[in-house]
């Protein structure tokens, strides 16, 4: 009945080692005659939290390549009534899209996610082993005989679980056994740009204010492995739909951002998600030198006005924010980390420590060279002024001695 595609699983542990991003998968539901009635092509990420003995823990994971369509999926009666797509993966997890229709439109009336907390591969050290079910209505809808298309990341909130669909093409009540050539776009993609009669003149993009500084932490089975306080800003260069190259800056707003992470003996990861943006920071430790540093950065975001809205950048060979193991790295000056030629990560007022963290306290501070240089300037100016005062004083004393020598006692 079903044909799973080539999606990748993305639990947060894979973020640690590969900084990978899930690929799309194609799912098909067929009727008793072997005719397709539902087709869906998308990648999906799940973000939730669960209880452990050490408190609540956040986890993010992808729909894996092994996902498959279950026989409980249905085309409904005569491909004209309620139908459903049921996708299963892992140890008892299912994602269900329930469709309904009227004379002109169809929609995903309900999305349901069932997840099994006894799956230690996704929920390590979970205090509960029960299976939970969450569901919500959605605004995924399209015209009959048209496919639903959404290039942008789309989030559906199912109580404590957020499902993010990326680069989605979905169609139910198929009439010709395949996707329609016509499509209904999601609101996130915005209207298609009109064909201009004259080349549009680019308007200046205002530079955003410095990002807000926020505190982040990541804990594992052995306690805290990462403490960080910083403001984050993204600088990306891309081509717009009218083929204009633009460079824009985006601040990460802590009030709209969720974060999680993971700890291993070699790598510590901090993953931040804000809307359709995912930023992953990977810290490593050199065993021979006992130096800790920012090794990898992965950025995935949607740019609605870009020629290719799905923007991705990754670099796993960095050597930024370095400090000795057990020490913290601090820099009040703005640090600019180049991820690729088209992407920079600007870090403001950073104070970070990965590995060998003592509770919730930063270790001894190692200041950045930028701060050290900024301290040298006033010291140099002060030294120059002191030297100038000393020269003036010596000149004055010499001059005064010579003036006395010109007068003899009678």
Q: What is the pLDDT of residues 165-177, one digit of tens each?
A: 988 999 999 988 8
| Mean of pLDDT over the chain | 83
The residue written with tokens 């104070």 in the block is 351
SS3 state of residue 89 = strand
Instruction: Provide the pLDDT confidence category of residue 204 given band limits of 50, 70 and 90.
Output: very low
**pLDDT the model gives residue 391:** 83
Question: What is d(CA 30, CA 2) in angstroms, rounded to the nearest whole number?
Answer: 7
Q: Please, how many CA atoms are within 13 Å of residue 407, restricted to the half-sphere of its CB? A: 4
Question: What is d(CA 400, CA 406) in angstroms, rounded to the nearest whole number?
Answer: 10
Average pLDDT over residues 19-31: 68
Average pLDDT over residues 306-321: 90
**pLDDT the model gives residue 93:** 96
As given in the structure block, the two tokens for residue 400 are: 């005064």
């Amino acid at each position: 009945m079903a044909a799973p595609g080539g999606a990748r699983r993305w639990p947060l542990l894979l973020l640690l080692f590969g900084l990978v991003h899930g690929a799309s998968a194609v799912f098909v539901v067929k009727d008793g005659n072997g005719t397709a009635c539902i087709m869906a092509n998308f990648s999906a990420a799940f973000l939730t939290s669960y209880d452990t003995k050490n408190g609540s823990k956040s986890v993010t994971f992808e729909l894996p390549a092994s996902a498959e369509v279950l026989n409980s999926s249905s085309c409904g009666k005569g491909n004209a009534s309620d139908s459903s797509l049921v996708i299963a993966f892992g140890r008892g997890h299912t994602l269900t899209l329930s469709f309904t229709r009227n004379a002109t439109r169809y929609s995903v009336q309900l999305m349901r996610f069932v997840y099994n907390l006894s799956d230690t591969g996704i929920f390590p050290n979970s205090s509960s082993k029960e299976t939970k079910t969450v569901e919500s209505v959605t605004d995924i809808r399209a015209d009959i005989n048209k496919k639903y298309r959404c290039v942008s990341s789309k989030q559906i909130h199912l109580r404590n679980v957020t499902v993010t669909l990326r680069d989605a093409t979905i169609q139910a009540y198929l009439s010709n056994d395949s996707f329609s050539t016509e499509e209904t776009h999601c609101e996130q993609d915005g209207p298609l740009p009109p064909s201009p009669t004259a080349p549009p003149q680019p308007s200046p993009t205002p530079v955003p204010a410095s990002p807000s500084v926020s505190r982040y932490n990541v804990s594992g089975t052995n306690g805290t492995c990462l403490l960080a306080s910083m403001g984050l800003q993204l600088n990306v260069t891309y081509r717009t739909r009218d083929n204009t190259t633009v460079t824009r800056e985006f601040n990460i707003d802590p009030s709209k951002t969720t974060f999680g992470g993971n700890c291993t003996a070699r790598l510590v990861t901090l993953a931040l998600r804000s809307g359709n943006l995912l930023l992953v920071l990977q810290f490593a430790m050199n065993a021979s030198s006992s130096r800790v540093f920012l090794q990898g950065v992965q950025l995935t975001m949607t740019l609605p006005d870009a020629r290719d809205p799905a923007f991705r950048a990754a670099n796993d060979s960095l050597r930024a924010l370095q400090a000795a193991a057990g020490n913290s790295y601090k820099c009040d000056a703005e640090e600019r980390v180049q991820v690729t030629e088209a992407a920079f990560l600007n870090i403001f007022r950073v104070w970070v420590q990965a590995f060998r963290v003592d509770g919730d306290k930063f270790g001894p501070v190692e200041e950045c060279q930028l701060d050290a240089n900024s301290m040298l300037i006033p010291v140099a100016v002060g030294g120059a002024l002191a030297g100038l005062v000393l020269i003036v004083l010596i000149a004055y004393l010499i001059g005064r001695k010579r003036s006395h020598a010109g007068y003899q006692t009678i």
